[in-house]
Chains A and B, each alone.
Chain A
Amino acid sequence: MLQGLIKKEDLKKLIASVKKEGTFYGLIRGSEGLSLSELGPDDEVTLDYSNFKMPPKRQFFPFSEVICTYEDESMTDLPLSEEKAVIFGVRPCDALSLLYLDKIFIDEKFTDPYYRSRRDNSLIISLACREPLKTCFCTSVGASPAGKKGADILAFEVKDSLLFEACSEKGTRFMENYPAIFKKPGKADIKARDEEVSAAEKRVQTIDLSGITEKLQGCFDSPLWEEISQRCLGCGVCTYTCPTCHCFGLYDEKVELKGRRIRVQDSCMFPSFTLEASGHNPRTSNEERMRQRIMHKFRYTVENFEDIFCVGCGRCISNCPVNMDIRETLAEVIK
């Protein structure tokens, strides 16, 4: 496993080198808060954050995206993005979420080419967590503050430096490309990292999810869904800020004879999500929609892919206008 140490102040050198071949995305704190943005050599990379608001799925699965255009009676599909990108600063939980999205968008029979090309052209450098939030529960769902899954490189903050550790072939190749930038870490650096990691892991709150899928198998018709969902306002905050939610719709927009077809994220929490042209809607109530969201993440994906489609990032908890807390919902189910 390739390791390399880089001074925090030298990140700019790395950014400048990467920029020769592609785009470097990292976290900057601007007037609108913290966001994953394209970085120039003069931008100040922020390392001081727990996590950022919009999950990294937006890099690969934008809110809306044109998939073909048409004029008169001919249609043209849109060329794929060829932008090479390095995405730095994703938290390990969010890096894991990308592996889940891969299972949806990339499969043998049908692959979403727009998602796929961006994934193929990107390198993920995740940044290990030091300060988990009160809403974090990653270690209960198979992620962890220093988890490697989904990352090409995992970076750790060690005093005034960053310790890079390659986790994939792609990551190794990347680090080998810049031999001048990375130095060999010393034993003390490794020890400092290990201490940080175990301290962070201990700080993550845990919930007991043992048997959640089996429990969900038995509680489809339970009155608990009505109870739980009473407070829910039915907005799309939880699904839109969720790193693994991926439902979408295809829509046409046309002005005179010119038009385009776009793929737009949608949310199972909206009644229109399942509304059919006839007016029939198989999921009319808030409780049915809430049940679908929970079942989908903690049961159906387990049965289909053997994975819980939740990485414990806590965005749905911290952003909910009425403090719906998925940890409590799951605890109710297990009870």
Chain B
Amino acid sequence: MANPYFPKLVTIEKITIENEARDLKTFRLAFCNRDDKKSFKYECGQFAMLSVPGAGESPIGIASSPLDEQYLEFTVKCYPTGVVTTALHNLEEGARIGVRGPYGNSFPLKELERKNVLIVGGGFAFTTLRSTIRYMLNEKSRARFENITVIYGARSPGELIYKPELKEWEERDEIEMYVTVDRGDEDWKGREGFVPAVLQEIAPSSENAIVLVCGPPIMLKFTMLPLLDLGFSPDRIITSLERRMSCGIGKCGRCNIGTMYVCKDGPVLSYKQIQELSEEIF
């Protein structure tokens, strides 16, 4: 009987510090065992349990794209109160950790085909959206999607993550980028303003469109109304939830909301599904 709690061994190949506060790092991982690599088939929006022996496990969204065949990436925020995230941040390149997964459902990429895709992200919850953007922009898949529009915001310019990629995307024609910060600094030449306000200002068309939106709860709360106003029906607003998790496989009970377990029935949910839950989510 396979032990579903048993992690696969990976090596940290590369660590990228993503922000000025240095509490966001992207870990590029490679499986130590070839079979493990083969069996780890994931989709955009899924997560995995990252496992630091001695500290424990933490559910983290997968930031690389399924088409990035050579590696697996996770962007992790280090919280002062987070045991695992702190332990992860203390590791150096070459260290070995464990990965369990992939878990959960994924963004409905099939449904996005032949549609305009709006992506709205805030803060470091941009990780699985980045996975999705990378996937859609890949030459193997780009033709399947219509216009791709991205609105991404962070508190300050230093807090924007994946900066080299943002820059690269801004220069490409096949994706429309709107990067904003709550408050700029002397060097900031870009847009200023909260994500919901920028969304209202740009007012992307909801025609034949689906929106993927991830961010801190407060941003989600204030983004839903403008999206509805733009004509996105709740079933075409897709987001992703976070909850404390232990097992990742629908047993430990921590992430239970109503009849759903975020780890296996989520984390990706439409706003319609969220409205149907009794519990207030954001």
A207 interfacial by beta-carbon distance below 8 Å: no
A68–B5 touching, CB < 8 Å: yes
A109 interfacial by beta-carbon distance below 8 Å: yes
How many residues of B are in contact with the other chain, CB < 8 A?
43
How many residues of A are in contact with the other chain, CB < 8 A?
48
Docked Cα-Cα span, A263 to B252, in Å, equals: 9
Shortest A9–chain B CB gap in Å is 40
A60 interfacial by beta-carbon distance below 8 Å: no
A249–B251 touching, CB < 8 Å: no
Docked Cα-Cα span, A273 to B79, in Å, equals: 18
A274–B254 touching, CB < 8 Å: yes
B98–A250 touching, CB < 8 Å: no
| Partner among B5, B82, B251, B279 whose Cβ is within 8 Å of the Cβ of A67 | B5
**Chain A: which residue is nearest B257 at the CB level?**
A282
B4–A111 touching, CB < 8 Å: yes
A182 interfacial by beta-carbon distance below 8 Å: no
Known: A251-B56, A277-B84, A278-B82. A111 touches B252 (CB 8 A): no
Comparing B188-196, B201-209, B239-247, the segment that makes contact with chain A is B239-247
B57 interfacial by beta-carbon distance below 8 Å: yes
Docked Cα-Cα span, A282 to B249, in Å, equals: 20
Contacts of B244 in A (CB 8 A): 273-277
Known: A73-B96, A221-B278, A252-B54. A277 touches B1 (CB 8 A): no
Residues of A contacting B: mostly: mixed
Shortest B229–chain A CB gap in Å is 26
**Chain B: which residue is nearest A104 at the CB level?**
B251
| Partner among B53, B83, B251 whose Cβ is within 8 Å of the Cβ of A110 | B251
Pairs A–B under 8 Å by Cβ, sample size 16: A70-B54, A73-B53, A75-B7, A77-B3, A77-B5, A220-B279, A247-B252, A247-B253, A252-B57, A254-B54, A261-B53, A266-B252, A273-B244, A274-B254, A277-B244, A304-B259
Closest 10 CB pairs of A and B: A277-B82, A247-B253, A254-B54, A220-B278, A113-B1, A110-B249, A73-B96, A252-B56, A70-B53, A77-B3
The residues of B with any CB-CB pair to A shorter than 8 Å are: 1-7, 9, 52-58, 77, 79, 81-85, 95-96, 98, 217, 242-244, 246-247, 249-254, 256, 258-259, 264, 278-279
The residues of A with any CB-CB pair to B shorter than 8 Å are: 67-68, 70, 73-75, 77, 80, 104-105, 107, 109-113, 116-117, 220-221, 246-252, 254, 259, 261, 263, 266, 268, 273-280, 282, 292, 295-296, 300, 303-304
Question: A67-B3, A221-B278, A250-B247 known; 15 other A-B pairs, CB under 8 Å?
Answer: A68-B5, A70-B54, A73-B9, A75-B7, A75-B53, A77-B5, A77-B6, A104-B251, A113-B1, A248-B251, A261-B53, A261-B56, A276-B242, A277-B84, A278-B82
